[in-house]
Chain A
């Protein structure tokens, strides 16, 4: 596998992870979390674990982002801390 692509994807994973816990806007955090899941899905696919990648794409990037957005819609959009 091309190691440059892996490195870029891994960097985006770390940036999204740090961004998701530091950003004040919870809707933005939910979107960042979705991007994080999608990049993890790419990493699983690179490592040949296609079933896990599929699960990550559907559960992590798909459903859980929607559930986060629904929760933010019903609660507050800004964090207290």
Chain B
């Protein structure tokens, strides 16, 4: 069976590699894609959308439907993971650990006993893995705000440089995950709770679809951002650039929330109690 599987894999792999020989070579000016589609975008993007980064213009404006449904795919993946992984029944842990902060003594609370209230003196710590390191905590606290500002820059500056909603959203999510790893899962729940994360997932898609619907109400086609000029008070070409920014913000919020929520579910095995 194993030899058969290897044989089939090698056969189809060889066929695929053989077929790629018929492709036009990389960067070939005579290739069909470089002859018909690309020149149109390269020549007209600047005068039609006033966005210097053609990739962003194609992604969010010319192929706006594609990107909207990509966002919806990410949203539905996040929702599917919620239903697959989340355990809604609350399981009482066998023992709980609490640290008395002024002395550094760890208390072990048996099942059924009254745990101390979380305060400035007592903090609950995880059983499996305790991130308690001053260097890691301090350096993560230094890195997180800078990476968040970088993420916002990537989202907002996607018109002019590489980047956009997807990348910026992922970096924003990564900064929150870094916070969750360096501190613990519960302290990141106090910043972004589970409900808030799920709400943001929907909000991102809503912003994207709402921008499209707004263009319908202003008497144009769906996702035709030129119609937004009546709201922004600028000419239709600049309005396209602003519309792309609105859409990118929606994508960024959705991607960030899905990444954070996915991490919460995976790291705590769906219990949202204690985790990596």
Residues of A near any B CB (own CB < 8 A): 47, 50-51, 53-55, 58-59, 62-63, 66-67, 69-71, 73-74
B55:A67 contact, CB within 8 angstroms = no
In the assembled complex, the Cα of A55 lies from the Cα of B275 at a distance in Å of 27
A37 CA to B174 CA in the complex, in Å? 16
Contact of B177 (CB < 8 Å), options: A51, A58, A63, A74: A63
Q: For chain B, residues 24 to 51, give those with C-beta under 8 angstroms from any C-beta of chain A.
A: 26
Other contacts beyond A51-B164, A67-B266, A74-B266: 14, CB < 8 A: A47-B26, A51-B55, A51-B162, A53-B162, A54-B162, A54-B167, A58-B171, A63-B174, A63-B259, A66-B181, A67-B262, A70-B263, A71-B266, A73-B129
Smallest CB–CB gap between A1 and chain B, Å? 10
B267 near A63 (CB under 8 angstroms)? no
> With A and B bound together, what is the CA distance between A59 and B169 in angstroms?
10
Q: Taking CB as reference atom, which chain A residue is nearest B270?
A: A74
A residues near B166, Cβ cutoff 8 Å: 55, 59
16 pairs, A vs B, C-beta closer than 8 Å:
A47-B26, A50-B162, A51-B164, A54-B154, A54-B167, A59-B166, A62-B171, A63-B170, A66-B174, A66-B177, A70-B263, A70-B267, A70-B275, A71-B266, A73-B267, A74-B269
Chain A nearest CB: distance from B127 CB in Å?
13
Kindly state whether residue B163 has any CB partner on chain A within 8 Å: yes
A residues near B259, Cβ cutoff 8 Å? 63
* B window 122-158: CB within 8 A of A: 129, 154
A53 to B269, CA, bound (A): 31
Q: B69 to nearest A CB, angstroms?
A: 17
Chain A residues closer than 8 Å to B164, beta-carbon distance: 51
Q: Tell me whether A66 and B263 are in contact in the complex, defined as CB-CB below 8 angstroms, given that A50-B162, A55-B167, A58-B167 are known contacts.
A: yes
Contact A67–B263 (Cβ < 8 Å): yes
| In the complex with contacts A51-B162, A67-B262, A74-B267 CB distance below 8 A | yes
How many angstroms between the C-alpha atoms of A74 and B263 in the bound complex?
A: 12
Find A62's partner among B26, B174, B181, B269 (CB 8 Å cutoff).
B174
Query: What is the CA–CA distance of A71 and B268 in the complex, to the nearest angstrom?
Result: 9
Q: Point out the residues of chain B lying under 8 angstroms from A71, CB to CB.
A: 266
Contacts of B53 in A (CB 8 A): 51
The 7 closest A-B pairs by CB, nearest first: A50-B162, A70-B267, A70-B266, A58-B170, A51-B55, A74-B269, A51-B162
Distance A66 CA – B56 CA, assembled complex (angstroms): 27
Docked complex Cα distance between A53 and B162 (Å):
9
Query: Inside 8 A of B268's CB, which chain A residues have their CB?
Result: 74
Q: How far is the CB of B188 from chain A (nearest CB, A)?
A: 13
Query: How near does chain A come to B223, taking the closest CB pair, in angstroms?
Result: 20
| Residue among A58, A63, A73 with max Cβ neighbours from chain B (10 Å) | A58
Min C-beta distance of B31 to chain A, whole Å: 14
Chain B residues with Cβ below 8 Å from A51 are 53, 55-56, 162-164, 167
